Amino acid sequence: MPELSTKINGTEKSAEIKAEYKKFIGRKILFIFSTIILIIIIAGIAATLGPYQISVLEVYSIVWHGIPKILLNLDFILSHSFKDFSLTYFTKEESIIWFLRLPPIVMAILAGVGLGIAGTTMQGVVRNPLASPYTLGIASAAGFGAALAIILGAGFATGQNIIIAANAFFFALCSSFIIYGISRYKGVSPETMILAGIALMYLFSAMTGVLQFFGEEKAVVGVVYWMFGSLAGASWDKLFVMFIVLIICIPLIMLKSWDLNTLSTGDERAKSLGVNVNRTRVVCFMLASLVTAGVICFTGTIGFIGLVAPHMCRMIIGGDNRYLIPASGLFGAVVLLSASILARPPIAPSFIPVGLVTAFLGVPMFLYLILRRRKEFW
């Protein structure tokens, strides 16, 4: 009888643990779906902002009815351009939404998702809460690449934006390969990757400063504007390239989410669980670098998204990367979309560089996280 009683108690306790676990997982899934709904709401509000008044419901209706038109006329878009398509098949309101207002909104969503996921992945790789695409030198390298292109004559007004983006993308990847090479030479450890990233951050920042010092005034202004970070140059062709990079890299990162969980327990424990620690660290870091490069080559350096979004999500839903990675990406989109709304002054028709707004939002948000933290949540 005592054995039977113990068995029953053990079964009840196991059932309670399973119920509690399901409840905890349900909270994570609810947070993810709530964030998606919040993105849709904020995007609808953002699309109403402008001199031509369009209501939120009209925005949703225009988008919903515009998708079939686009899908049925893809051959026209491919043979001409989206601008010609909007002038031919869309009404005035539809052209304003699809051609003028949606590209910056979609870019904010894609950039926020990319930077949030890249930041979470890098923090998991190096097991350091301060890791981000910027503290590891990737953004500084992209800034140097863009500055080099602008100083050498690829101005914003000359239609050579693609050269600037390509140069930023190339140097961002160069930075990640340098970190990889140093790590392979000294051993792929979190400390080596962090120190190499910080060194490269200062190196590329100094090189960018040298270019600005010797560059012409007009080119230097272009460099400074690019490094502020902006969504004003958004277009559907850029968004297509950014989307392709994200749709390739993010599923691969998600496949490594369980391995990232094991890395948080320490290298020796991860090895004992059958994880190839060095390969996991290198693959995840390179994928996160590619995502970062694919975003900031078009937006410029937008800071704090990859640092704040993972921390806030980690405090709410915990550190399980299977849920933390998508949640951080979606929350990053919420933050960047909100910043893009604040970056639109009520008087001037132009954008304030969104990178400045995210810095102003990120600093108090980050300090709040530090002051409110009662225990370690890493």
Statement: residue 255 has pLDDT above 90: yes
User: What class is the 103-372 domain?
Assistant: mainly alpha
C-alpha torsion angle, residues 180, 181, 187, 193 (rounded to 10): -40
Q: What percent of the chain has pLDDT over 70?
A: 88
Q: Residue 182 — very low, low, confident or very high, per pLDDT cuts 50/70/90? A: confident
Q: 79-93 pLDDT, tens per residue? A: 777 777 777 778 888
Statement: residue 217 has pLDDT above 60: yes
Domain borders along the chain are 103-372
pLDDT value of position 113: 96
Q: 316-362 pLDDT, tens per residue? A: 888 889 999 999 999 999 999 999 888 876 545 566 788 888 888 77
Burial per residue of 253-272, b for 16 or more beta-carbon CB atoms within 10 angstroms, e otherwise: bbebbebbbbbeeebeebee
- The position carrying tokens 């132009």 is 350
* pTM check: above 0.85: yes
- CA pair distance 163, 166, nearest whole angstrom: 5
Contacts of 234 (CB under 8 A, 6+ apart): 103, 104, 106, 107, 298
Mean pLDDT of the chain: 83
Q: Which helix (H) or strand (E) segment is 234 a member of? A: none
